[in-house]
Chain A
Amino acid sequence: MSNKLTRRSLAAAVLAASAPAPAQTQNPPAEELERARDGVRRNREALAKFKIDRAVEPAFQFKPL
């Protein structure tokens, strides 16, 4: 299928892009960021508690090409 960027589709995209982003009604970003960092720390702690045999390799393989 041949797809060219038409004036119509470009206008639609620009229009969408210029629409105001929905208002942020939640906590200020600083608190939100701290919460997200806490999440990373909590995940780290949860993973650390999980005992795993040293022989277990990650669920992906390096493949020489």
Chain B
Amino acid sequence: MPSFDSSIFFSTIGELNAKLRAKEFSCVELTRAFCDRLERLGPRYNALALPLREDAIKQARKVDDDIKHERLRSPLQGIPYGAKDLLSVEGQPTAWGALPFAGQVFKYNARVIDKLAKAGSVLTGKLAMVELAGGPTYRFAAASMTGSGLNPWDRSRWSGGSSSGSGSAVAAGLVTYALGSETSGSILTPCSFCGITGLRPTYGLVSRYGAMALSWTLDKIGPMARSAEDCGIVLQAISGKDNDDPGSAGKSYYYSPQYARQFSDLTIGYHPADFEEHADEPARPAFRQALEMFKTFGSKLVEVEIPEFPYGPVISTILSGEAGAIFEDLIQSGQVDKLADAKQIAGLKASQEVLAKDYLKAMRIRALIQDAFRTLFSRVDVLLSPARNGVASKVSEPLDGGGRGSAATPKSRGLQGLIPAANLAGLPALCLPCGFADNLPVAISVVGRPFAENTLLAYGNEYQKKTDWHRRKPPVE
């Protein structure tokens, strides 16, 4: 077995696939090396839910045979990846990060797992997550059967949630990419906190079949990876119509940012307050620098504000209403008390008191939110803002403690609340690492119209051509 230089674990999909095709090493050798690393370092970050070495090696043997016979399937052929433990893998435990579901085994694969297997990618493990993907809400990073997700940049910090293991495993080079899911912030947050690139797809573009449902109308599955390009490659493989997902948009996606409109024809909406008053002070220089870089692309920049709606109460009511129905048995049986986080338990119990009229009112306001964003996107092509206002919180501190933004009330709401707002509107978002504050990563996000992933990725590629924040490695070893 060749001894792999540590840089191999931080290679992009394209770089690894080229080496596999050039037969610099076999897929079995690569898979063994990644499995060793995932099993050795995964527990250090509480990132590993379940190792899948045996099946990974079997898949790797098939890939080696394919490459030997020049059956080249896709750029993902032979690439090791991890999947959030909310995705079912046939015959393997799928615990959803929650003790009451620890012994749960499904007889089928999630659609995205099947699609990636068909592309030749190698699943090396299930990755840890916040229990029930966060449910209505939770207070501590420790809200998981596998403990707090620890950040590879600083283990006293949270890796973000709810796709915690996916975030830290990619950042620490334990997998080349991972699948995460987002109901409201669960891809963008760990990507921002761990310094990796992530894509939240348009609602309905990627099948939810075989994924734990937290909210039927909000859940999305998306890639968390080393670059915008890697996100595009993975999205192409996992997207597409699926009759087994009632929310499927019936659309495919082809990664072709080269055909996106010229930047000079595009307009970026942003608000300076997001990069200044709303941002935590130590993060402002990085955010300013990122904004300045985007200004060099030739797009027109205009100041915009987020449409005014009660996003918090709307998303909270929809999420509680749907999660309360989905987990009714868990709640009524009392098994809910086995969850790790008191706030999560209480939130699920209280979800039983959400009235139908309130859920429907929230869904009616949601229709107006969609309209308002449609109007906003008639003026701009993308929205640019910090992905999160600052760095990862300490694992010991409550998550509902508030940020370190300006003490004075900002003059404008800017684009604050964009995570719940864009999730309510089903909009895609790309998270791009843009620097460091207090030696921890921070990131910006680019949000676009429904199904405008190629525009977002074109911006992402351009930004990552001119910066190297996405290539920075945490001090893992």
Contacts and interface: CB of A to CB of B under 8 A. Distances in A.
A40 B353 contact: yes
B363 A59 contact: yes
Given A21-B338, A24-B342, A33 B349 contact: yes
Contacts of B145: 16-17, 19, 21
Contacts of B136: 36
What band does the interface of chain B fall in when counting residues whose beta carbon is under 8 Å from A? 35 or more
B89 A3 contact: yes
B93 interface: yes
B3 to A, nearest CB: 25
B338 A37 contact: no
Contacts, number: 155
Interface in B50-95: 50-55, 58-59, 89-93, 95
A11 B24 CA distance: 35
A29 B344 CA distance: 10
Contacts of B59: 1
Nearest to A27: B342
B314 interface: yes
Interface in A1-60: 1-6, 8-10, 12-14, 16-17, 19, 21-22, 24-27, 29, 32-33, 35-37, 39-40, 42-44, 46-50, 52, 56-60
What band does the interface of chain A fall in when counting residues whose beta carbon is under 8 Å from B? 35 or more
B89 A37 contact: no
B422 to A, nearest CB: 14
Interface of B: 49-55, 58-59, 89-93, 95, 99, 102-103, 105, 109, 113, 117, 123, 136, 139-140, 142, 145-148, 217, 309-310, 312-314, 316-317, 320, 338-340, 342-343, 345-347, 349-351, 353-355, 358, 360-370, 398
